[in-house]
Amino acid sequence: MSSVFDDLVGQEHMIDILKGAVAASRTGSDSQEMTHAWVFTGPPGSGRSSAAVAFAQALICPNQGCGACNECQSAATGGHPDVEVIRTEGLSIKVEEIRELLTRVAWAPSMAGWRVVVMEDADRLTESAANALLKAIEEPGTRTVWLLCAPTLHDVLPTIRSRCRHLQLRTPSIEAVTQVLIKRDKFSPTMADFAARVSQGHIGRARYLATNESVRSNRKVILQLPLQLGSLAAAFQAAQTLVDIATEEASASSESRDEKEIEKLQEAYGKGATGRGMATGAAKAVKELEKEQKSRAVRRVRDSIDGALLDLATFYRDVMMAQAGASESLINSDMRVEIKSYDSRFPAHSAVQKMSAIMEARKNLAQNAAPLITCEALFCRLAKE
């Protein structure tokens, strides 16, 4: 029989625990297997929120997560009254949002035995928001299950994480990702192999790459940048190129959505309504939404630059592999010739230094450094030997 857990590639260790918890949750007793708060950790793209949503489905499904029934399907698409998935695209989750959430979930579950809240990006909770949430998690006897997702356990406030059961996602093997892309998503073996290899076990990123021609060609441009750093002027140009590509990729996905959101909001307020109170209310709401969209766009661009820098790092990683005589394990095996020629021009330790320069730039960007200046400084370092 198929199950909602089938899609969690390479997470067998976790699936056993989750199935045990679902089984225990049916007995009604408060057993050790079933607890009210869980943290799923793994890097973005590792499928931590897919794991949490699958668990939510299994908890409310009469067949322990068949994936086919009404309950399972409405939970996955956000239509189930007892399952709430909190997706934050802003830079932080504020205390007002948590308070509002808490009033929404204060009621007993309406259909299922549990009310489940999946919170993607629990690392974005502000401290006061986290404290408000903590009170809810500590409350005994509720039928609400909290599934928090974060990159690492350290990204969750200690007081919260000490009350949660922790599950760590593993990075699936490239082979496992390739197989999923072929069997489930019906990509050709060549495409599946390429996408799985260059996205290093991130199934979401692999699927995105395999689906989007423009994303693949952008990636190619990024990987050519190390070969074009002959002068300082070229380094500045390369930084600009990277930021432009990342910005374009990020805005391509948000623009149409932003417009739709505003339109929907105006409709909700009655578009063209002339009543004075109505008009100011709508204007205020639209203004707030635009502010949120702006902060979301900033984050998208940052995430996109981060992705481009990770791609860039794979070039230097491959140079190191080639130097170590392990050419068969190149990520960018289609660039074998370029990597070889680059390798012969620079001393052996330089690729290591360049990789750590990239990681440093990513860290600075994560702490809100200005993107273009950060990339310019980076490429100037990459241009040097």
Shortest distance in whole angstroms from residue 74 CB to Zn ion: 10
Distance, CA of 290 to CA of 296 (rounded, Å): 10
* Cβ distance to Zn ion smaller for residue 66 or 310: 66
312 lies in the site for Zn ion, by CB under 5 A: no
Strand pairing category for 115-119 and 144-150:
parallel
Distance, CA of 382 to CA of 305 (rounded, Å): 16
Dihedral sign from CA coordinates of 77, 78, 79, 84: positive
Distance, CA of 117 to CA of 257 (rounded, Å): 24
Distance, CA of 184 to CA of 212 (rounded, Å): 17
Number of amino acids touching Zn ion (CB under 5 A): 5
Q: How many residues does the chain have?
A: 385
- Phi, psi of 288, deg, nearest 5: -65, -40
* Cβ distance to Zn ion smaller for residue 64 or 350: 64
Question: Applying CB under 5 A, which part among 23-31, 53-61, 236-244, 363-371 lies near Zn ion?
Answer: 53-61
* Cβ distance to Zn ion smaller for residue 69 or 352: 69
Shortest distance in whole angstroms from residue 4 CB to Zn ion: 7
Question: Applying CB under 5 A, which part among 57-65, 158-166, 235-243, 342-350 lies near Zn ion?
Answer: 57-65
Which residues neighbour 216 within 8 Å (Cβ) at sequence distance 6 or greater?
A: 209
Helix (H), strand (E) at residue 38: strand 37-41
Shortest distance in whole angstroms from residue 112 CB to Zn ion: 11
Shortest distance in whole angstroms from residue 3 CB to Zn ion: 9
The candidate with the shortest Cα–Cα distance to 204, out of 185, 220, 188, is: 185
* Cβ distance to Zn ion smaller for residue 83 or 149: 83
* Cβ distance to Zn ion smaller for residue 66 or 369: 66
Query: What is the Cα 279 distance to its own chain's centre?
Result: 37
Q: Map residues 133-172 to x or -, x wherever contact with Zn ion holds by CB under 5 A.
A: ----------------------------------------
Query: What is the Cα 235 distance to its own chain's centre?
Result: 30
The CB density around residue 12, as the number of other CB atoms within 10 Å, is 10
Distance, CA of 4 to CA of 331 (rounded, Å): 31
Q: Map residues 8-47 to x or -, x wherever contact with Zn ion holds by CB under 5 A.
A: ----------------------------------------
Tokens of 7: 């899609």
Q: Map residues 253-292 to x or -, x wherever contact with Zn ion holds by CB under 5 A.
A: ----------------------------------------
Q: Map residues 61-100 to x or -, x wherever contact with Zn ion holds by CB under 5 A.
A: x-x--x--x--x----------------------------
Shortest distance in whole angstroms from residue 206 CB to Zn ion: 27
SS3 category, 86: strand
* Cβ distance to Zn ion smaller for residue 66 or 252: 66
Exposed (0-12), middle (13-18) or buried (19+): which is 208, by Cβ within 10 Å?
middle
Shortest distance in whole angstroms from residue 285 CB to Zn ion: 37
Question: Applying CB under 5 A, which part among 55-63, 126-134, 206-214, 282-290 lies near Zn ion?
Answer: 55-63
Distance, CA of 219 to CA of 223 (rounded, Å): 6
* Cβ distance to Zn ion smaller for residue 42 or 109: 109
User: Which residues contribute to the site for Zn ion (CB under 5 A)?
Assistant: 61, 63, 66, 69, 72
